[in-house]
Structure 1
Amino acid sequence: MNWRTHVSCLALVGGMMVAAPAIAQTADNTNAAPPQTDTAADSSDTKAATISGTAPDSSGSGEIVVTGTRIVRPNITAAAPITSVTSADIRAQAPINVEEVLNRLPQISPDSQQNYQDSDGRQRIKLRSLGFERTLVLVDGKRLGTQNGQDTNIIPVSLIERVDVLTGGASSVYGSDAIAGVVNFVLKQNFTGVRIDANYNFYNHNNTSNIVTSAAQASGFSPRLGQVNDGGRSDIALTAGTSLFDGKLNLSGFVNYRHADLVPYDARSISACQLNQATKDGPLSCQISTYSVSGYVSPSTGTNAGRQYVNDPAGTRTFVPYGTGAGKAANPYDGYSYQRQDNRVNAGGFVTLKLAPEFEVYGSALWFRDRSINRYPTRVFAAANYGSDPFLVNCNNPFLSTQQAGILCGAAAGTATQVPVDIRYRFNAPFMTDTYTNTGIRATAGVRGKVGDAWTYDVGGVFSRNQQIWDSSRLPSFDRVNNALNVVNVNGVPTCASGAAGCVPFDAFSAGNSNQALINYLYGDLAPAIQKQVGLLYDVQANMTGDLGTYGITSPLATDGVAFALGTEFRKDRQFSQLTPGFIEDYGGSPSDLAQHVWESNIEVQAPLIQDRPFAHLLQANGAYRLSKYSSNPNKFTTWKIEGLYAPVADLTLRASFNKAQRAPTVVEAYQASNISYTRQGGSQNDFCAPTVTTVNGVTTYGAPIASREVCRATGLSDTLYGSTTLLCPNDQCTVRSGGFTADPETAYTQTYGLVVKPRFVKGLVFSVDRYRIKINNSLGYNDYSYYTDGCLRSGGDSFFCSGIVRDANGTLYAAAANNPTSGFIRQGTTNYYLSIARGWDFQGSYALGLGGAGRLDFDFNGSLTTFAGGQDSPVQPQRNCTGYFGNGCSQLLPKWSHGLRTTYSTADNVFNASFNWRYVGSLTSANNSGDEAIGGTPDRAQTTFYRIAPTSYFDLALTFNIARQFAFRVIANNLFDKNPPILANSYSISLARNNTIPQRYDALGRNIAIGTTITF
């Protein structure tokens, strides 16, 4: 850190501490709602209870529900590990969405939709890196929505009481899709009074010179250096509630507004350009684009055919060679969204009516509307994007200088002859945008109650509707571009020769064109390209629990009786889409209407066998069984669990859980598997059996193919065509066929073994250690074309992979999609691909240390050791363990070890508390350097550059002041020391981000400073 950073940090911390004496008097800031004080007490108590296997009882009834079981009884103990994030934890982070809360948990694969240019704006949760389809999200014990369409950011952060994360199989209790576990958001309800929660945060970052800086400068780009304050984000929520009729009726509601400012890539020095490394340990360069504000021109005929030019950035109206240098080439990603501009409104309400202990009516509704954008430069695209016809320029075009006309037209310069020219242009004008508007509503209703001393029931349902409208920018009209390029001089005025209505001449032969009238003409009157997707969930449940101990059904060695739960559920998922003709023209696809429903019934039993005996404080057996029948499959699915708890003494509990689940494909997965569509593969990867192509100064040379002759033979290619230029796909984009598979159910086995210690001789200490093992047979997943091409290459010609490369009779892979071909393509899509595996250890601990009159210290620890993350791609391939590695298909980006340790000091009167959090992310190593051939770690691939990311520690500080029961004030600094994220070349192939880092894993934008308040009336 330089001196500016030190001064900034010291000033921030000093300002926080100096403010402490100025804050007045005592307060506990409580009301009839769950505690509103920003203290550590609720955090510590909840964590201790969760670690030891019970949940805090906030109802006052002594009966509680633990995430992972539907049985309601006092002092229930969980046999599966549960991690909780409390409201105090959340307030100390100052997040504006659920995504930020969950990203800090080692058990959850981090995601960063707000820092991802290609995001559609929806946030979904992936436990153990096993995919959101295998993670069931609940709100107060009921489903959030459809697996494919849900957006967890519908949940208001200020209304979260706690988040329970059950990181083991829960399919037998909640549904067959809870293979990786359950995330249950417990919301604050039965609120009375009025409360305002407000947060504002921004990034305070020092852009320092780094390895990207020199590469950007060499390419003619100007990196931003020095201190920046940007990325402002605001979150304000108003909550109000009241109780009527002696507390029998409670009504509460909220409205929440969130906003985030845009932070473009070029606002950070580490993303001044996309850093490329073409060969192992080779020289670094920036990704450059022909779509320059200086314009790009390449003749297609004549002596200069194929040569690449740009208009002189100095404005001389002459052509200069295309390449690096100020103004010559474009930075294609400078305006991409590092933080997406976003606006969101959430609202909702809750109602409970207690008519009698046996009959309570409840209901809730959550609604949201979110609008976010992806930015793209406003461009005239190469003619090849439209088809095989070129753009044409007349040789007497008044915008052409003598030099330019000579290069394009040769001897025809000055005549009306039209010559084919490749023209690309980035206008010096506002960006085009893709807009994602997500809306949704989730409503619940039901009745519940307690009948006698033994029985409880809950009959209710969920309706959820999520809608996404993607309004995409379009290619400008090809005909209008050609019209605008055919310009003649009429009385000294450049005029479109076609005479087309509204035509505006296109000066493509000078730099810096910002003619908005031209842009309006080229893009005007285009049919909108809009895709509308809607996901619907109808879910009706009936659950009953009973404590048979009331009737004397109890083990002779136990004091508590056998308890059980019975349930039945009907659930229907529907997903449909509508596409405008303009969307189909640009992106392909077709409307769809997909649906499936399932009937399920389940039973769960808890049987205390021995209690309060010598060497057996508790011995308990649990079991559950669920039967599922999906409309999309002729067979019934069975799911079960067996659990055991043994505590020889109260201080020590051993626990184990075994789960088996079968998961049917979601409606979207089933559609992706079966529906056939054709596209051109993205990027610049060609047929690996074609010669490699290099073009320098307009001269093209051909090299040896990437694949060996043996590998190409395994794809069905004859030896005589090996290395033939006829194999080259047009524009390096081969045809890809999606679909054509049958997606079968997958079967998962989950095991957890744990130890919970709560020693009486160390008051306030609780810790647990749990081992988890998850194996998914016949695993469902989406594999793009690279799954087959890379697998075929890696395996040396394994038919399991190479069979996905389906060559035409002439050996090519660029069949015309319009002909509905049966060959000439690479396959991709959702299919069953053998095994997925996740294994590791979880560690949790909490310790509350009283300091007498000086206050209290609370320590909360959550760590995870991942020992296996990956799977087996085919029966003949070795298992791929990606733990601690990146690249070569290791997209989980999971370090072997990560943890969070929060230390909180609270004064005795809770007027002030300070919370210091240490987030640790273990090292990541390139899979090329793993030494494991299964993930490409062969000696010839080992790198000496960009091969390792060192362990990273982030420190967060939160200071809170509680004033006179009504007011809490927070000042927070996340990533206090403004630690830069690691820099990686070729980051898109690693993290799907072009900003030279892994934004979902690391704090990519720097120090985040937040100010927050809670005001209660």
Structure 2
Amino acid sequence: MVHGSIARRFSKFQALTGVAAVALAATPALAQTAPPQAAEPQEEQAESGSNREIVVTATRVVRDGYAAPTPVTVFGEEDLARAGQSNVFQAVNQLPSLAGSNSTQTFGTTQSTGTGGLSTLNLRGLGTNRTLTLLNGQRVVGALNIGVTDAGSFPQGLVKRVDIVTGGASASWGSDAVAGVVNYILDDQFVGLKGNINGGVTTYGDNKQYSVSLTGGFRFANDRAHFVISGEYQDNDGVPRGSGKRDWYDGTKVLMRTIATTPAGEPQYIVAPRVVDTRLAPGGVITAGPLRGTAFGPGGAPFAFQYGTIVGVDMSGGTQIGDIADNSNLEAAMRRETIYARLGFDITDDVTLWGSFNYGGVLTTAHSFPGQYRTGTLTIQCGNALNGAGSLPGSGANPFVPASIQQACINNNITSFAMGSYIADLPDTIAVNERNMHRFAVGLDGSFEALGSDWKFNAYGAIGKTYTKSLIQNNTLTNLVFAAIDAIPGPNGTVICRSAAARAAGCVPLNVIGTGVASQAALNWIKGEPWIKTWLQQDVAALNLSGEPFSNWAGPVSIAFGVEYRRESFRQESDPFSVGNGGNTLLNAGGNNYFTGNFRSSQGAFHVWEGYLETVLPLFDGDGMGKAELSGAVRATQYSQSGYVTTWKAGGTWDTPLTGLRLRGVVSRDIRAPNLAELFRAPANLFASFTDFVPQAPGQPQTYDVNQATVSNLDLRPEKSNTFEIGAIYRPEWLPGFSASVDFYRIKVTDAISTLSGIQQVATLCQGGNADACAAITRNPAGKATEIRLVPINISSLVTKGLDIEASYRTEVPALIGSNGSLTIRALATHVFNYTNTPGLPGTVPQEQAGVNSNAVNVSIPNWRLYATQSYSTDRFSFTVIERYVSPGVIANNFIECASACPLPTATNPTINNNQIAGATYVDIGATFKITPKIEIYGKVDNLFNIDPPLVPYYGINPYLVRSVNNSMYDLLGRFYRVGVRFSL
């Protein structure tokens, strides 16, 4: 069992941390902890290069954050403590530049993607696979074959700061750093014992959670050796089904009329509450024919289904039992555990040998659908239906159908009806994801003297492995469902399955007419659990050197250079019914037998060699002109599969003669190489309707079914990105403790990898002359398409422009409680001017997504996001206020809003009665109090005023699957209380 295995690992985790705590408590070094130091302002922490050297993530050259040409937001220990979240990811996820990052709140009805429990960061909304996440400047094995790293597997108790580089950094750090880099920096020299225990609950009494972390470190062997270990356990109950006690959800969605059916002057699209699917009911509803609108309740009792305002298959009002999206979790249940250990030994005064181990495990369970929804695809025999071949003598009508409906079938001269149903007697569909990451690393850090100057080096090798198992509980095997619902009377008043082959296979008749009517034996016979197991491995070896080998007229010239080798591989295995029939002849021999899931086995690998050179060249220093530096970097990269690519960056900083004003700018070429899934994913097949643009033979239809195969593409090229950033930093002498920065950015991604959404798009591309699209169509000698492959291709592009603004101020203030204290104010904001996505398809137009707060597009990009903190602290007490702001937006920028006298809608510019989505302002408060100098209690209230999320009307296909909220932008949980205790001994 999945739950059992993680429980066993947790017991090992408890034992390990317990032993570590006892050992550390007995170590004399704990009595030698340094006295507490006064906290520094964030900008002073970054500028303290005169006392210690800090490698900021913007560059490989040793520089402080404000000296680097690429903007870096530093979120330090004080910031993390003020945020008061259960882990580091939840804290940094609130920053404006990280909009759209994934967490347990963004899971929803997702079942088969394996993303449950992931904490993946998304800079600028460009995608998690275009944001490079590092641990101490090193790559970490991906959590999935799409290449993203789970930051939740890092040791939370050892993180001393997080560097967020908001600009392209591929020349310094390699592929995927298109939007930037998020680097978790660990305090791996920690000495002492510290811990953090906290728990919380929403104002509604759900989403109960707690976490425990313990970290200890000590020196031994005459201070030449150091050992540190850190462990954490987090448990989150989630909100298991629906909205709980929250009353803000009302099923608001968009009713989408066609252009042809839209009355003159009226909007084509109508935002309306209580929108449900007319084809769904818990106990079934007849969806077509003379009995349409007959629904079945408890015990199979018929009742009249009330239709509201109908548009297509959706309606507003009427019988409200067709919205299954609100069944999914607001937040998935999760258990997470991490262990990190590092041992270092100073071989000499200048060289340290070290080894580290990192384990991260997570288990999530998420309610998705109630039962198994079937939108009018269940066929029930009734009335004077005859037996099929191989059945027993007697009536062919389904005996589960109520007598009144049997008579109605006879009266209307029909022998069957189509029905839609949840099959609500089935338990909820639950997606379970278990993921374990193990990473081993060993390295040498040190310094030496050569060519008359001092050099620093680090070399390391790492092996990282991730195992993931995803399964869908309470799923059904489609052919077995159809066999089981096709019931007929059997001997001696029994009910049997119609098909002799089904009976031979053990078929148990299933009653889907109503609720509370299905036998457990029948439910067990149709159920199955599709699963997929994934093994990923990343092998890395790297050597980096940096120094200042000579000086020019303005000062020392700094250089850094290095080489890196990386190999990434994966292997996937899936259950027998996803890839075949498992020996059951009732199932499809080619697999795809489940209602949802149908995972495929696959494997693949690639490797890459890289070398880079980076330099900082001082231009002038003094003489009334201030101080200026140029920086540059170049990286050569050779992929085994994707070929050779060069990335570069060039930038500079200028401390102007105006005291406190620094200007900076950078341009760069960055890349994202195709990941393992895009290169090696196994094909998934289904038949779909296709209208051919090639004339068919006389008498042959132009529209016919063709095999649609979603596949990978070994010929993908790396995505390319050009980044331009320019900004200013002001730190006036006349206002000590104040600093502010403003940076403009423009990022253009070309050759972006996209997978077409359907075979008709492939045909459109081919007709327009795209050779890759034409190569994806296989035809027989007569010219008829037999297979069309949905292949990821380098076709789309996107451009985003905006401003990053940051300001901070810290000053000493008179005592409010006890001794004098300090006031710290910090604000970060991002304003997006444009986020333009160009699909690249013939006949399509660029899509402007800046200001779109909807959940129906790939990303949600509000025009403004703000995160601000104000904190007053003394030596014993602190109080913090945090504001989080999201600006109002629209459903789609190409919609034309009108209530009446509307213009004629077009395919690219539909009209809509309400295109607005409200913004939100959240206020959080927190406080800490030191019981002793080493023990602190704290409390935090998020969303103090319990602000409800605005409803986000969904537009698109299958709206019944999508809850009308944007869970990556708004707070869905409401007011949340957290209390905890921290200690440092």
Output the TM-score relative to the length of structure 2.
0.80
Contact 1:63 / 1:75 at 8 angstroms: preserved in 2? no
Aligned mate of 2:247, from 269, 276, 281: 269
Task: Go from structure 1 to structure 2 and tell me whether the alpha carbon gap of 1:989 and 1:514 turns closer, same or farther (over 3 Å shift).
Answer: closer
Contact 2:101 / 2:128 at 8 angstroms: preserved in 1? no
SS in 2 for 1:265: coil
1:346 aligned to 2:347?
Answer: no
Structure 1 counterpart of 2:797, which letter?
L
User: Post-superposition shift, 1:543?
Assistant: 0.9
**Deviations, residues 349-373 of structure 1 (Å, cap 9, x unaligned):** 1222223222101222221221112
SS in 1 for 2:195: strand
Q: C-alpha separation between the residues in 1 aligned to 2:402 and 2:63?
A: 87
The 5 A counterparts of 1:357-376 are 357-375=349-367, 376=369
Q: Which residue of 1 aligns with 2:101?
A: 111
Higher mean alpha-carbon deviation, 896-905 vs 122-131, is at 122-131
1:906 aligned to 2:873?
Answer: yes
1:132 aligned to 2:105?
Answer: no
Q: C-alpha separation between the residues in 1 aligned to 2:632 and 2:923?
A: 42
Structure 1 counterpart of 2:852, which letter?
Y
Q: Which residue of 2 aligns with 1:679?
A: 686
Q: Which residue of 2 aligns with 1:435?
A: 432
Q: C-alpha separation between the residues in 1 aligned to 2:530 and 2:378?
A: 16
Q: Which residue of 2 aligns with 1:310?
A: 295
SS in 1 for 2:91: helix
**Deviations, residues 681-715 of structure 1 (Å, cap 9, x unaligned):** 7xxxx87x8xxxxxxxxxxxxxxxxxxxxxx9xx5
**Deviations, residues 493-538 of structure 1 (Å, cap 9, x unaligned):** 6677877687655344443326333322332xx5x52212222211
Q: Which residue of 2 aligns with 1:861?
A: 827
1:252 aligned to 2:228?
Answer: yes
Aligned mate of 2:859, from 892, 902, 907: 892
Task: Go from structure 1 to structure 2 and tell me whether the alpha carbon gap of 1:991 and 1:657 turns closer, same or farther (over 3 Å shift).
Answer: farther
User: Post-superposition shift, 1:615?
Assistant: 2.3
Q: Which residue of 1 aligns with 2:153?
A: 154
**Deviations, residues 22-44 of structure 1 (Å, cap 9, x unaligned):** xxxxxxxx99789989xxx64x6
1:780 aligned to 2:759?
Answer: no
1:511 aligned to 2:515?
Answer: yes
Contact 1:391 / 1:423 at 8 angstroms: preserved in 2? no
Structure 2 counterpart of 1:463, which letter?
I
**Deviations, residues 967-1003 of structure 1 (Å, cap 9, x unaligned):** 1111111111111111122267799982211110111
Contact 2:54 / 2:62 at 8 angstroms: preserved in 1? yes
SS in 1 for 2:551: coil
User: Post-superposition shift, 1:144?
Assistant: 2.1
The 5 A counterparts of 1:497-576 are 504-513=508-517, 515-523=519-527, 526=528, 528-548=529-549, 553-558=550-555, 561-576=556-571
Task: Go from structure 1 to structure 2 and tell me whether the alpha carbon gap of 1:47 and 1:346 turns closer, same or farther (over 3 Å shift).
Answer: same
SS in 1 for 2:739: strand
Q: Which residue of 1 aligns with 2:466?
A: 466
Task: Go from structure 1 to structure 2 and tell me whether the alpha carbon gap of 1:508 and 1:931 turns closer, same or farther (over 3 Å shift).
Answer: closer
Q: C-alpha separation between the residues in 2 aligned to 1:754 and 1:789?
A: 43
Structure 2 counterpart of 1:545, which letter?
S
Task: Go from structure 1 to structure 2 and tell me whether the alpha carbon gap of 1:390 and 1:591 turns closer, same or farther (over 3 Å shift).
Answer: farther
SS in 1 for 2:120: coil
Contact 2:444 / 2:458 at 8 angstroms: preserved in 1? yes
Task: Go from structure 1 to structure 2 and tell me whether the alpha carbon gap of 1:874 and 1:310 turns closer, same or farther (over 3 Å shift).
Answer: closer
Aligned mate of 1:745, from 718, 722, 725: 718
Q: C-alpha separation between the residues in 2 aligned to 1:1016 and 1:429?
A: 51
Q: Which residue of 2 aligns with 1:215?
A: none
Q: C-alpha separation between the residues in 1 aligned to 2:845 and 2:956?
A: 26
Q: C-alpha separation between the residues in 1 aligned to 2:330 and 2:782?
A: 39
Aligned mate of 1:648, from 650, 656, 659: 656
Structure 2 counterpart of 1:679, which letter?
L
User: Post-superposition shift, 1:184?
Assistant: 0.3
**Deviations, residues 782-809 of structure 1 (Å, cap 9, x unaligned):** 44339949999xxxx9777997899999
1:337 aligned to 2:329?
Answer: yes
Unpaired runs of 5+ residues, structure 2, are 1-29, 258-267, 309-316, 580-590, 898-903
1:610 aligned to 2:620?
Answer: yes
1:94 aligned to 2:61?
Answer: no
Aligned pair count?
A: 883
Contact 2:324 / 2:961 at 8 angstroms: preserved in 1? no
Aligned mate of 2:640, from 624, 631, 637: 631
Structure 1 counterpart of 2:679, which letter?
A
Q: C-alpha separation between the residues in 2 aligned to 1:36 and 1:250?
A: 21
Structure 1 counterpart of 2:439, which letter?
R
Contact 1:772 / 1:840 at 8 angstroms: preserved in 2? yes
1:145 aligned to 2:102?
Answer: no
Q: Which residue of 2 aligns with 1:922?
A: 887
Higher mean alpha-carbon deviation, 587-596 vs 637-646, is at 587-596
Q: Which residue of 2 aligns with 1:475?
A: 476
User: Post-superposition shift, 1:632?
Assistant: 1.1
Task: Go from structure 1 to structure 2 and tell me whether the alpha carbon gap of 1:668 and 1:379 turns closer, same or farther (over 3 Å shift).
Answer: closer
SS in 2 for 1:919: strand
**Deviations, residues 24-67 of structure 1 (Å, cap 9, x unaligned):** xxxxxx99789989xxx64x6234554xxx4x56xx96222111
User: Post-superposition shift, 1:234?
Assistant: 1.7
User: Post-superposition shift, 1:235?
Assistant: 1.6
Q: Which residue of 1 aligns with 2:256?
A: 278
Higher mean alpha-carbon deviation, 939-948 vs 82-91, is at 939-948
Contact 1:647 / 1:653 at 8 angstroms: preserved in 2? yes
Q: C-alpha separation between the residues in 2 aligned to 1:160 and 1:234?
A: 19
Unpaired runs of 5+ residues, structure 1, are 1-29, 205-227, 690-711, 810-814
Contact 1:931 / 1:939 at 8 angstroms: preserved in 2? no
Task: Go from structure 1 to structure 2 and tell me whether the alpha carbon gap of 1:805 and 1:257 turns closer, same or farther (over 3 Å shift).
Answer: same
Q: CA RMSD in A?
A: 4.3
Q: Which residue of 1 aligns with 2:454?
A: 454
Aligned mate of 1:378, from 371, 374, 389: 371
Q: C-alpha separation between the residues in 2 aligned to 1:66 and 1:971?
A: 32
User: Post-superposition shift, 1:457?
Assistant: 1.0
Output the TM-score relative to the length of structure 1.
0.78
1:963 aligned to 2:895?
Answer: no
Structure 1 counterpart of 2:129, which letter?
E
The 5 A counterparts of 1:3-14 are none
**Deviations, residues 89-130 of structure 1 (Å, cap 9, x unaligned):** 223333234542233122123234312221621232222222
The 5 A counterparts of 1:860-1009 are 860-874=826-840, 879-885=846-852, 890-907=857-874, 909=875, 911-928=876-893, 941=909, 943=911, 945-986=913-954, 994-1009=962-977
Q: C-alpha separation between the residues in 2 aligned to 1:581 and 1:508?
A: 27
Higher mean alpha-carbon deviation, 142-151 vs 534-543, is at 142-151
Task: Go from structure 1 to structure 2 and tell me whether the alpha carbon gap of 1:1012 and 1:727 turns closer, same or farther (over 3 Å shift).
Answer: farther
Contact 1:531 / 1:583 at 8 angstroms: preserved in 2? no
User: Post-superposition shift, 1:913?
Assistant: 0.8
SS in 2 for 1:269: coil
SS in 1 for 2:950: coil
Structure 2 counterpart of 1:900, which letter?
Y
Q: C-alpha separation between the residues in 2 aligned to 1:869 and 1:411?
A: 57
Q: C-alpha separation between the residues in 2 aligned to 1:828 and 1:469?
A: 26
Task: Go from structure 1 to structure 2 and tell me whether the alpha carbon gap of 1:76 and 1:1006 turns closer, same or farther (over 3 Å shift).
Answer: closer
Higher mean alpha-carbon deviation, 572-581 vs 85-94, is at 85-94
Structure 2 counterpart of 1:645, which letter?
T
1:669 aligned to 2:667?
Answer: no
Task: Go from structure 1 to structure 2 and tell me whether the alpha carbon gap of 1:820 and 1:777 turns closer, same or farther (over 3 Å shift).
Answer: farther
